[in-house]
Structure 1
Amino acid sequence: MKIAALLSGLLLGAAMIAPSAIAQDNGPEARPIYNRDQWLPKSVPTSDDVLRIPVPADYNAPKGSFVLVGGRLFDGTGKAARPATIVVQGKAITAVLGPDDKNWPADAVVYDVTGKTVMPGLIDLHSHLTFMEGADAASVYSSANMSGAESVMRGVKRMGVYLQAGVTSVRDVASHGDAPFVLKRLQAEGQLPGPRIMAAGQLITQTGGHGALHTFQPGYPEIHDQNPNSMVRVASGPDQWREAVRIQFAKGADLIKLASEYSQAEITAAVDEAHSLGLPVTVDSETQYIDMAIKAGVDSIEHPLPRSDAAVALMAKRGIASVPTLVAYRVIMRGSGGYFGSTSRRFELNEQVNENMVAKMRRAGVKMGIGLDVVALAGTDFLPGSYIDELESFTRIGFTKSEALVAATKTGAEIMKMGDRLGTIEPGKLADIIVVDGNPDEDFAALRKVKTAFVNGRLMLQDGRIYKPAHEEVPMPERK
């Protein structure tokens, strides 16, 4: 009798478990991401972004070579730091030599980095290069209708700050209009010092969804009008979500950024369209919307927002990455006393709850990278402290210091779908390199002393200051 009662109780308890708490995986609804390598052998040169467009062999490569000698190398692979010499030809790392090996080109520029650490440039997976700050950010009208010129100038300022903090790549997950693509092109061509940019274009959400307040001022324009200078695109229904993805792709997007709220049909359509074009998808969502995102087949999920144990397990199983952005919530809640006024944040948010959620993902084996999303209040003015703060958060949830720096470099590149070209200092990788006065793998505070930075083999930071080559005069045409 007791056994029967116990079995009955167990069955009743199982029946009362919410479906979302039971880990089930029937596979993603959207198609897998387009295999960009299937039709392009590695011998074919392609653009140094997610799009992988065929280009000439010397595309965007600076002339000449340089070597970094005398330093200790933290290569980002997980190996311990060691003495080494790094050789760069054009935009690529060609060799990592022992400290006594001088087998480099005779005409190479030699940088003596004795006593310093050479490491891959840091990656910020969650930036908004053109987002407004302070009182301006609180104005819906100004956020929605900032001119393209002002957007670009704000981005230029932030790019310089990022570079001085040792960040050589940013994933811009929503900025105003065409601004992020202009900034990306100018930086890639070497005209503008700053980190390389992987741009999402506009955030895609539904009417009234997260971020939608930045698309309109009540009464002007009308809620369903699309503002080309907005950082958000509102879409309604699966067809409009597909079209919104196609518009970002046409502008040159490296990824697609979606935000709750949405229907299952809408997010599945958007992910399916993005993957068909070869673009990864990241999503800003919470609670049931994370379940929908996982079901659709997204590639990464932003923020430390609530999700079920089943969702965490499925993220780990499917390889869906997380970009926690713990520091962003810390800044918001310490500055304002809480996270107020958002319909997409209707749950408890505090520093410990957030860290507990990220620790749970860490224990489950979810891949995690560093992203800041610090756009409110002083924005990039917090750098490099905000980046150091996020690294320290990672150590509190179980990462060693070296593992946290690998998350900031190698793992970040993998999440961007650029792991074959960025994130480590190895032969064949692009030369995104920083030189730090100190040992950041032992003390993150050393990242306050980034002295030199190369992006794509171009010197962009020297003695801690933005570097731009002197103008070279072009001869006037002769009279004929």
Structure 2
Amino acid sequence: MPIMSIGRSAFGRGRRAALGAGVFAVLAVLAPTAGAAQRPIPETTDDIRRLPIPPVDRSREPVVAIVGGTLIDGRGGRPVANAVVLTQGDRILAAGPAGSVAIPADAARRIDATGLYILPGLIDLHIHFTQQRGADFGKYADSPAGAAIRGVALAEQLVGAGITAVRDVGTVDDVALRIKEAVDRGVVRGPRVLWSGRIIATTGGHGDEVTSTATGRQKPAMGGTTKGYNGPWEWRAAVRHQVRNLADWIKLGAPASKEELAAAIDEAHSLGVPVAIDSYGEYTDWAIEAGVDTLEHPLLMSAGSVALMKKHGTAFVPTIGAFDNLLEGGYPTAGIPTGGFYHTHSRRFVIDQQDHLNKVTEAYRAGVPIGVGTDIPFENDTRYPDAYFRELAYLSQAGMSNADVLASATRVGAEIMRMGDKLGTVEKGKIADILIVGASPLDSLGNLRDVRYVIADGKVVVDGAAR
């Protein structure tokens, strides 16, 4: 079943209900009357945690009118010619045909989008702000501060390409959190950030290896004290620590026992936080059966994995480009040879690009929600933002239509991210994350590269008029 046909499907409703139940269970402890119904919170933070905040008065914020362009609003309908989109502050006031949307006389700005295409901002569901950048990277000592500087540069690259929301699924210390805060406060330019802290792994598992995942080089002092967790209760405690440290998502790594995976997923869901996993083989199936929310990468998936994903409502973030890069040239500046991951205990299998594409095709035909994620671990300075658009091309190679790839990059991505009520479409009440390009992406996904304007959180961060 094509992705565009799932709409706000049982996937979205079921997952939101499950996570909402976890949040309500926590809040029920604070309820003044036992068994009282949980009332909706009028205003919350614009992230997964949905913390209550005081009411926000946007009535005095300037109104921006985007006029004359063709609107592809992300909801699956036909494009709207000669559209008007109004924003005020960080929210969309209205969107539709020119005759149906009145432009206020005191609008602070009109953006003439005549001949252009207006669509939701793009979403990357799998990045790492703290990865390697630069051909001369090996000359310099690394540190969390250095990683943060690299991350800020990447944030600028992403939002400049129209990628207005990202999910960081593994960071050094709290770097991704601080970039999230800096973007929120307007200190740096970048996309909206959801983050998951450090990967939760067993001792020696993916996320706690003594040797480099890609090169096999041993880490200083043999990796130091393990940061792995062992046994279901340690995995529960690790989840609690991540949530305490303000994580929006939990990221798990295989290998792990069935009991450890189930404990971590159950604990996260009880706290209203979703879970992603970097997995392979039988560990993948165990995680799906335990209710993991997203599967990252199509690595060594079993013949029954896709059917399990469909049954349990698991979303799929294939990151095809990350592995094709290994097969087609490696990462020369990082010393990674062509062919695959070598010397790595948690990657003891052959990487097969055609098999990866076949898994995406199978998942697409089964109606599994598919999101766009890049996961470029090296050479970020030269591979972004091109890696994002190449990932869209891989999804096309797997048989997805342009409309469905665009949906994966916007509405479906927002639903997978658990932000479907705030992001992913251009409609009244949504966050004002808007991309304006020079030609229709429904005709060619390559047209997404022709960025004219980017509005992120209501701010014009790429200004076609100025350029």
Q: Distance in 2 between matches of 1:271 and 1:61?
A: 41
The offset of 1:442, in angstroms, is 1.1
Distance 1:36 1:207, change over 3 A: closer
The offset of 1:187, in angstroms, is 0.7
Deviates more, 1:99-108 or 1:405-414: 99-108
Aligned to 1:431: 432
Deviates more, 1:346-355 or 1:216-225: 216-225
The offset of 1:270, in angstroms, is 1.1
Q: Distance in 2 between matches of 1:295 and 1:344?
A: 21
Q: Is 2:77 the counterpart of 1:79?
A: yes
Q: Please give the per-residue CA displacement for 1:277-323, whole angstroms capped at 9, x wherever unaligned.
A: 11100000011111211222111100011222322111101110000
SS for the counterpart of 2:345 is coil
Distance 1:464 1:406, change over 3 A: farther
Q: Distance in 2 between matches of 1:306 and 1:138?
A: 32
The offset of 1:41, in angstroms, is 4.0
Aligned to 1:247: 241
Q: Distance in 2 between matches of 1:130 and 1:207?
A: 22
CA contact (8 A) 2:204 2:210 kept: no
Q: Distance in 2 between matches of 1:323 and 1:308?
A: 16
Q: Distance in 2 between matches of 1:172 and 1:46?
A: 21
The offset of 1:382, in angstroms, is 2.3
Distance 1:173 1:300, change over 3 A: same
Letter of the aligned partner of 1:352 in structure 2?
Answer: Q
CA contact (8 A) 1:91 1:430 kept: yes
The offset of 1:215, in angstroms, is 9.0
Q: Distance in 1 between matches of 2:60 and 2:127?
A: 27
Aligned to 1:125: 125
Q: Distance in 2 between matches of 1:44 and 1:249?
A: 23
Q: TM-score, normalised by structure 2?
A: 0.85
Distance 1:136 1:34, change over 3 A: farther
The offset of 1:408, in angstroms, is 0.5
SS for the counterpart of 1:202 is coil
Aligned to 1:15: none
Q: Distance in 2 between matches of 1:460 and 1:171?
A: 20
Aligned residue runs from structure 1 range 77-156, under 5 A: 77-83=75-81, 84-101=83-100, 103-108=102-107, 109-133=109-133, 146-156=142-152
Distance 1:110 1:320, change over 3 A: same
Q: Distance in 2 between matches of 1:312 and 1:114?
A: 43
Q: Is 2:374 the counterpart of 1:388?
A: no
Distance 1:258 1:188, change over 3 A: same
Q: Distance in 2 between matches of 1:183 and 1:60?
A: 25
SS for the counterpart of 1:439 is coil
Letter of the aligned partner of 2:44 in structure 1?
Answer: T
Distance 1:320 1:137, change over 3 A: farther
Aligned to 1:170: 166
Give the unaligned 5+ runs of structure 2. 1-16, 28-37, 331-337
Distance 1:98 1:214, change over 3 A: farther
The offset of 1:254, in angstroms, is 0.7
Q: Please give the per-residue CA displacement for 1:411-460, whole angstroms capped at 9, x wherever unaligned.
A: 10011111111000111111111111221221122222212111111222
The offset of 1:68, in angstroms, is 0.4
CA contact (8 A) 1:437 1:450 kept: yes
Q: Is 2:65 the counterpart of 1:67?
A: yes
Deviates more, 1:217-226 or 1:73-82: 217-226
SS for the counterpart of 2:365 is helix
CA contact (8 A) 1:61 1:457 kept: no
Q: Please give the per-residue CA displacement for 1:4-59, whole angstroms capped at 9, x wherever unaligned.
A: xxxxxxxxxxxxxxxxxxxxxxxxxxx95343675664461000000000112218
Aligned to 1:181: 177
SS for the counterpart of 1:322 is strand
Q: TM-score, normalised by structure 1?
A: 0.82
Q: Is 2:229 the counterpart of 1:235?
A: yes
Aligned to 2:316: 322
Q: Distance in 2 between matches of 1:248 and 1:464?
A: 43
Deviates more, 1:78-87 or 1:427-436: 78-87
Distance 1:138 1:212, change over 3 A: farther
Distance 1:357 1:138, change over 3 A: farther
Distance 1:331 1:137, change over 3 A: farther
The offset of 1:369, in angstroms, is 0.6
The offset of 1:399, in angstroms, is 1.5
Q: Is 2:330 the counterpart of 1:344?
A: no
SS for the counterpart of 2:410 is helix
SS for the counterpart of 1:309 is coil
Match of 2:276 among 276, 282, 285: 282
CA contact (8 A) 1:61 1:91 kept: no
Q: Please give the per-residue CA displacement for 1:87-112, whole angstroms capped at 9, x wherever unaligned.
A: 11221111113124551222212111
Distance 1:424 1:98, change over 3 A: same
Q: Please give the per-residue CA displacement for 1:90-136, whole angstroms capped at 9, x wherever unaligned.
A: 21111113124551222212111111111100000000011124678
The offset of 1:239, in angstroms, is 2.2
Distance 1:190 1:365, change over 3 A: same
Aligned to 2:7: none
SS for the counterpart of 2:180 is helix
Aligned pairs, number: 426
SS for the counterpart of 1:348 is coil
Letter of the aligned partner of 1:338 in structure 2?
Answer: G
The offset of 1:372, in angstroms, is 0.6
Distance 1:223 1:284, change over 3 A: same
The offset of 1:384, in angstroms, is 3.5
Q: Distance in 2 between matches of 1:59 and 1:348?
A: 55
The offset of 1:207, in angstroms, is 1.7
Aligned to 1:361: 363
Distance 1:380 1:374, change over 3 A: farther
Aligned to 1:50: 48
Deviates more, 1:207-216 or 1:104-113: 207-216
SS for the counterpart of 1:301 is strand
Higher CA-based Rg: 1
The offset of 1:276, in angstroms, is 1.3
Letter of the aligned partner of 1:203 in structure 2?
Answer: I
Letter of the aligned partner of 1:270 in structure 2?
Answer: A
Deviates more, 1:262-271 or 1:215-224: 215-224
CA contact (8 A) 2:94 2:101 kept: no
The offset of 1:66, in angstroms, is 0.8
Letter of the aligned partner of 1:104 in structure 2?
Answer: I
